[in-house]
A and B are shown apart, each in its own frame.
Chain A
Amino acid sequence: MSLSLLRFALVGNPNCGKTALFNSLTGARAKVANYAGVTVEKRLGTLTGLGRPAELIDLPGTYSLYVASPDEQVARRVILGEMAGEAAPDVLVAVVDATNIKLGLRLVLELQALGLPMILALNLADAARRRGITIDTAMLSQQLGMPVVETVAVRKHGVAELQAALAECAANAGSRSGKLALPERGEAVEDLYARIDKVLAACVSAPSHAPAWQDKLDALVMHPVLGLVLLAAILLLMFQAVFAWAAPVMDAIDGGMGWLGETAGALLPAGILHDFVVDGLIAGVGGVLVFLPQIIILFAFILALEDSGYLPRAAFLLDRMMRGVGLSGRSFIPMLSSFACAVPGIMSTRSIADPKERLVTILTAPLMTCSARLPVYALVIGAFVPKQSVGGVFNLQGLTLFALYLAGIVSAALVAWLMRRRESAGHGFPLLLELPNYRWPNAYHFLLGLKERAWIFLSRVGTVILALSIVLWFLATYPHAPVDATLPAIEYSFAGMLGKVMQPLFEPLGFSWQMCIALIPAMAAREVAVSALATVYAVGGEDALGGALAHDWGLPVALAYLAWFVYAPQCLSTIAVVRRETNSLRATVIFTGYLFALAYFGALLVRQIAALWA
């Protein structure tokens, strides 16, 4: 008899260390959806060594099956088998933070009523022990009627025992199909908690207060004034790091690509193949690859802030301020993620309970300057803004970049305020934000997360960007210029023709046809604008391209181009994710339309003002 695939699901409160446990159980073999939103997307991994094929699903953190925000609904629908084409899981692995056992057990008892086989993983057992919490797991197992295993997910401690428990379960459990019905809420919350108190009294002795350093840290981090100063300092450090620390590595990559281009150029005979490899492939891909260090640093900060438990505190501090524009502290996390990429940012809006606030957050989060805009900003700023220092501390280039970030943030605030101003003042949705214990980010899980994100970027370079570089090179090369040509060759090519068709529309903004061409592939990914410009100007290397731009564009036009990139929804994946998350064509059309309108008129305004001033 061949055993069918057994499906395990990891369920637990937010911040119970579920994702780390998932990584430890499945190794780095997880299939993560294209966009690594924390656990918002379904993560699926293979479990080995259970004697039969088995897989593990990591669900979004949830407090309850009954009262649910959108991401809790995802968890509920998976557990109940309501997801299209998927049966309910065969076994539930409930994860409970051992330092926060009461809240975790409440969900466990609720899940138990579903009647599925269950295993309880008491996670963060080491932290619990350090606090003097002792848990009699045998007793707990007896009281709850399910296997209980102590784990320390970040150190693989107890993971082997958990694996053994899974294997035992796998030997007995049958695979099922179909849906489960959510039972009527049988008992009042008070009675449920009374039952938990009884269980805890029998198995747990806990002094149950957090270590003093946690409270001391909170006194600073959540201080109404000092906390905000600290937040500003962290954000400043983050953006400083993205630019200053990445520079040496970027120079090295740039130099390496330049060397590669020269070497390849010397080896290949002059002709089409030579031009294709040097001007198409190497210049195109290299122009984007150079931004990998910045993207890694940005994601490193966001991951570390997320893993340490800091982000909910920042949301707490900013809640009142964000309420001023009709949002809440919960919108802060999607907004911050959007500085890396709007796609995971928009997906993380599922933790916002208020549907209107969620919609406004989705529509405005892409105004945060994502990492794909950086290459374009860095190129144009490098070419047009002098490197002079301002007031001895700041650098004019850095300040310009800061102004671009600020333009996005201020615009998002204005748009959110406009969208919500007509609603009555009271929004009836609670904040109810858990402020989890501080934790040191674990190196293994941190690096695994970073690797996932770097990989997503690299695979884009290897696929979309590579393909677009080739297409662009073709468009910019054919048809060849006539022998007696007086103008640059590109003016006779398809790309030249296309740019000239578009150009009248962008005439008021001062965009040349080369600038127009670059906008087309940038719809697939903004950063491709850089390699597109490298192709149309037929130069490799960031410095050479900057020189070509400085020669060809005026400052007002360059600034208008930057303004265009602040607003334009130049990203098909963002538009697609807006469509999927709002499930509304109308919202998607409004999203795309308002941002293109802002981009056009913003660029127009910037050009006029800059022209007057210059």
Chain B
Amino acid sequence: MSHSATPLHLLPKGARATIVDIASHSHFGELDAQVTLRLKELGFLPGAVLQVIGFGLFGADPVAVRINGTKFGLRRSEAAKILTTLQPA
């Protein structure tokens, strides 16, 4: 994993970033592996490029992203599992 990896929920609106890893997150407890798997099934895989398209009203939560041409809404805690490197604009 790169040192400059930024979790998805900290990316600014409009940012394009490459996924470097799907990390584990204590929030999901024993379900964490399932959540990781589902994220991967939906296309959140290392190497995939995503774009942040918007945020919810409070505290940037949830966050909307586009990946492989499909848009998804994710909560902060799910987004925090997705580690990315920002692409130059």
Contacts and interface: CB of A to CB of B under 8 A. Distances in A.
Interface of A: 63-64, 66-67, 99-100, 102-103, 106, 189-190, 193, 206, 208-210, 215, 218-219, 222-225, 228, 312, 315-317, 319-321, 329, 426, 428-436
Given A316-B64, A426-B27, 10 more contacts: A63-B42, A66-B37, A208-B68, A215-B53, A218-B71, A222-B53, A329-B73, A428-B29, A430-B75, A434-B73
**Which of B27, B59, B62 has the most C-beta atoms of chain A within 10 angstroms of its own C-beta?**
B62
Contact of B61 (A99, A223, A320): A320
Contacts of B28: 428-430
A209 B64 CA distance: 16
Nearest to A431: B75
The 7 closest A-B CB pairs, nearest first, are A435-B71, A224-B57, A433-B73, A316-B73, A189-B40, A428-B28, A208-B69
Interface string B66-83: 101111111101100000
A257 B83 CA distance: 66
Contacts of A222: 53-54, 64
Size category of the binding interface on chain B: 35 or more
B45 interface: yes
B15 interface: no
B34 to A, nearest CB: 6
Contacts of B58: 320
Given A218-B54, A428-B27, A315 B73 contact: yes
Contacts of A329: 62, 73
A130 to B, nearest CB: 14
A433 B64 CA distance: 9
B57 A431 contact: no
A64 B73 contact: no
Given A103-B43, A320-B61, A428-B27, A67 B38 contact: yes
Could you tell me the dominant secondary structure of chain B's interface residues? mixed
Interface of B: 27-32, 34-35, 37-43, 45-46, 53-59, 61-62, 64, 66, 68-75, 77-78
B40 A102 contact: no
Contact of A67 (B41, B54, B57, B64): B41
A190 B78 contact: no
Contacts of A315: 73
A315 B73 CA distance: 9
Nearest to B58: A320
Contact of A193 (B45, B62, B73, B77): B45
Contact of A102 (B39, B43, B74): B43
Nearest to B34: A67
Contact of B41 (A189, A206, A219, A224): A189
Nearest to A312: B73
Q: Which of B30, B38, B61, B66 is most buried by chain A, counting CB atoms within 10 A of its CB?
A: B38
B37 A189 contact: yes
A228 B43 CA distance: 29
A100 B37 contact: no
Contact of B73 (A100, A103, A319): A319
B45 A189 contact: yes
Contacts of A223: 54
A204 to B, nearest CB: 11
A223 B46 CA distance: 29
A319 B61 CA distance: 8
Contacts of B42: 63, 103, 432, 434
Nearest to B38: A67
Contacts of A66: 37, 41
A316 B75 contact: no
A179 B73 CA distance: 36
A224 to B, nearest CB: 4
Interface centre among A225, A228, A434 (most CB of B within 10 A): A434
B65 to A, nearest CB: 9
Given A316-B73, A320-B57, A431 B43 contact: no
A198 to B, nearest CB: 14
B56 A434 contact: no
A64 B74 CA distance: 18
Given A63-B41, A100-B69, A429-B31, A224 B62 contact: no
Contacts of A320: 56-59, 61-62
Contacts of B73: 312, 315-316, 319, 329, 431-435
Contacts of A436: 71
A430 B53 contact: no
29 contacts: A63-B38, A63-B42, A64-B38, A67-B37, A99-B69, A100-B69, A103-B43, A103-B68, A193-B45, A206-B69, A210-B66, A218-B53, A218-B54, A218-B64, A222-B53, A224-B55, A316-B62, A316-B73, A329-B73, A428-B27, A428-B32, A428-B35, A431-B74, A432-B42, A433-B72, A434-B42, A434-B72, A435-B71, A435-B73
A99 B75 CA distance: 25
Given A329-B62, A428-B29, A209 B41 contact: no
